[in-house]
Amino acid sequence: MSEPQPERPKTPELSGVDLARQALVAAKEQARARGAAAQQKKQARRGGLRSGARADGRDPLPLGAAINRLITERGWETPAAVGGVMGRWPQLVGPEVAQHCEPQRYDEDARVLTVQCDSTAWATQLRLLAPTLVARLNEDLGHGTVKMIKVLGPGGPGRRYGPLRAPGSRGPGDTYG
């Protein structure tokens, strides 16, 4: 014989208000899930999360910081520093030398700064000051940035060609030397 099993207490069947409450809870959960999915789709369309109250990588940068970041990312530190030297030339060499000599170009591969002077006397003077100037520039820009300063003297007068010149003439240099 089988033993009679004890009767399990039946869960009362929901009716009326209880059934409505349970349906409302389920509907709210489904709406929350749909809302979260819709929010994720919306964020994906906009390009991800938006910046909030705290700073993060997507916030706008001040112009100076953006330029510095660009220079660093592209590896333009040395050319930018040398360009700054050309702008600060009078402070680096002194006002008297800056009046008579000005930087022309910088060759990054050879690390040579070319400077032109307005007279041969100033060109000679700058050639004598070149080692000191190279040391000062490297102290300001970083070791090894400038290896040599190429000093150019004043440019001669431009060559003029025309009907009043003798054929084969080299201009003023013919008579002076």
β-pair type (101-107, 148-152): unpaired
Task: Check pLDDT > 70 for residue 89.
Answer: yes
pLDDT, position 177: 40
- pTM for the full model? 0.50
**CA dihedral angle for residue 40, residue 45, residue 46, residue 51, rounded to 10 degrees:** 30
Task: Check pLDDT > 60 for residue 175.
Answer: no
Task: Check pLDDT > 50 for residue 33.
Answer: yes
Element of type H or E holding 34: helix 17-46
Task: Check pLDDT > 70 for residue 167.
Answer: no
Higher pLDDT, 124 or 165: 124
pLDDT, the chain, mean:
77
pLDDT, position 176: 43
Dist CA 105 CA 157 (whole Å): 21
Phi, psi dihedrals of residue 49, rounded to the nearest 5°: -70, 150
Task: Check pLDDT > 60 for residue 54.
Answer: yes
> Mean of the pLDDT values across residues 148-156?
85
Residues of the chain above pLDDT 70, percent:
72
Residue 148: helix, strand or coil by DSSP? strand
Report how far Cα 78 is from the mean position of its chain's Cα atoms: 12
Residue 173: HSE in the Cβ half-sphere, 13 Å Cα cutoff: 8
Task: Check pLDDT > 80 for residue 80.
Answer: no
Express each pLDDT in 1-27 by its tens digit. 556 665 655 556 666 777 788 888 888
Express each pLDDT in 123-134 by its tens digit. 999 999 999 988
